[in-house]
Structure formats: C-alpha cells, structure tokens
Amino acid sequence: MKLKRSYLVPLSLLLAATLCSLSLPQQEERAKNLKVLPKNISHEELEKEMRSFNKALGVKCDFCHARQTDNPKKLDFASDDKEEKETARDMMRMTMRINKKYFKSGKDEQGQQMMTVTCYTCHNGQKEPASKPPASATPPPPPAPPVPQEAPQQH
Ligand code: HEC
Ligand code: HEC
C-alpha cells in the first residue's frame, strides 16, 4: 500500500517539531546528581574538574561514567552505575579533607576549598598510585669492593 504524498508532508513536519521540542530542554540541563561538588557549579567549572580527573588518572570519561542503556555510544553522566564514580567521590572528599586539615589551605573568593594536594599529587597520571618505586627504578647495587691489595710493606 502506498501512502499518499499529502499525508507524508504533515507527518514529517510533526516529527520534526517533536524532535525540536525534545532537544530544547537538554541545552540548559544542569547536573542533577552532584553529592560532593557544589550543586550550582557552572558548566565550565564542572568540565574543568572532570578534565583534571582524566589527566590525573590517565583515563577517559568512561572510566567513571556508565554508558547509556539505550545508546551505548553515549555516556550517562548522572548515573551511579560504575563503582569507580563512587570511589572518585570518596577520593574527592578525602582530598578536600587533606587540604583543609593538614595543609590549612584556605578558601578562594568563591568559598571553594583551595587544593594544595590534588588528585594528580598521588595519581601522577595512573589509575592506581604506586606505593613503592618500580623494580627497575631501584638503584644499581654498589660497585664490587676493590680486589684487596697486598698491604704496603712495612720497613
Ligand atoms: C575519576 C572519575 C571521573 C572521571 C574520569 C570523569 N568523571 Fe565526571 N563525575 C565524576 C563524579 C564522582 C561525579 C559526581 C560528582 C559529585 O557527586 O559531586 C561526576 C559528575 C559528572 C557530571 C554531572 C552529571 C550529573 O548530572 O550529575 C558530568 C556532566 C560529568 N561528570 C562529565 C564528565 C566528563 C565529560 C568527563 C570526561 C572529560 C568526566 N566526567 C570524567 C567522576 C569522574
Ligand atoms: C593521598 C593520595 C591520593 C589522592 C590525593 C587521590 N587518590 Fe585516588 N587513589 C589513591 C590510591 C592509593 C588508590 C588505590 C587504592 C587501592 O588500590 O585500593 C586510589 C584509587 C582511586 C580510584 C580507583 C581506581 C581503580 O583502579 O579502580 C579512583 C577512581 C580514584 N582514586 C580517583 C581519585 C580522584 C578523582 C582524586 C582527586 C579528587 C584522587 N583519586 C585523589 C590515592 C589518592
């Protein structure tokens, strides 16, 4: 059966209108699942923070953020499905505490805790910070003791 052209035009217009109205609210979407960061954080600040996590741990966003169930090509940033995200929250709390308690780092003009110690301080580009230097970095053994020479003759 063939659909008449006269049906198709209004139908596609309706579809276009629906898609437009769906995509509009998303542009002003605010983060909806913040438990550590300030809820009113600006989009740029949030993005800066997240990029610093990527750098500090040497990972991509999907290390902490789960994929969308209906579109696995995209990440569901608000989802708490990945354990790494919850670990990261604990790490954020810990890092803030370290700065406050042990470095007495004050707050900046916006009232945010200043960070002397950051994720990078420990992680240094690694997912799991090393507790001891790698084996290859251990210093070479000291040179063998010199072959004993005969004691200088005494006269
Ligand atoms: C080391 C883990 C980690 C990495 C890597 C990471 N994030 Fe996050 N992200 C978090 C945590 C933890 C939160 C929640 C913070 C909170 O609860 O205050 C979060 C929250 C967010 C949110 C807010 C979601 C909402 O609606 O609540 C967005 C958006 C986001 N991240 C984007 C990104 C992007 C983009 C990247 C990559 C550039 C990224 N994240 C990399 C851990 C991470
Ligand atoms: C004082 C040092 C220290 C600081 C600061 C620190 N971390 Fe960690 N982090 C660790 C250690 C050590 C581990 C490994 C724990 C283990 O193996 O059980 C770890 C593990 C993690 C993991 C889990 C990695 C995995 O393989 O599952 C994440 C995610 C993480 N840290 C994120 C962060 C973020 C984000 C920050 C900054 C807000 C941060 N960390 C700051 C020491 C630190």
For the stretch 134-152, pLDDT in tens is 887 667 788 888 877 776 6
The radius of gyration of the chain's CA atoms, rounded to the nearest angstrom, is 29
- The CA 136 to ligand 1 mean position distance, Å, reads 35
User: Measured between alpha carbons, how far is 95 from 151 in angstroms, rounded to an integer?
Assistant: 61
Q: Where are the domains of the chain?
A: 44-130
Q: Is the pLDDT of residue 13 over 90?
A: no
The CB density around residue 57, as the number of other CB atoms within 10 Å, is: 23
> Is any ligand 2 atom within 6 A of the Cβ of residue 45?
no
Q: Contact at 8 Å (CB) between 88 and 32?
A: no
pLDDT tens digit sequence for 31-87: 999 999 999 999 999 999 999 999 999 999 999 999 999 999 999 999 999 999 999
Atom number, ligand 1, closest to the C-alpha of residue 37: 18
> Quick one: which ligand is closest to 91's CA?
2
Kindly give the distance from the C-alpha atom of residue 12 to the centroid of ligand 2, in angstroms, as a whole number.
Answer: 51
Atom index in ligand 1 nearest the CA of residue 77 equals 24
Dig out the tokens for 56 from the structure.
């500090």
Contact at 8 Å (CB) between 56 and 66?
no
pLDDT at site 111: 77
Residue 13 has phi, psi (to 5 degrees) of: -65, -45
Token pair of 51 as six digits? 């990029």
Backbone angles phi, psi at 52, to 5 degrees: -70, -30
Is-above-0.75 flag for pTM?
yes
**Cα–Cα distance for residue pair 104/8, rounded to 1 Å:** 68
Compute the distance from residue 41 Cα to the ligand 2 centre, in Å: 23
Residue 96: predicted pLDDT: 93
Indicate whether residue 95 lines ligand 2 (CB < 6 A). Answer: yes
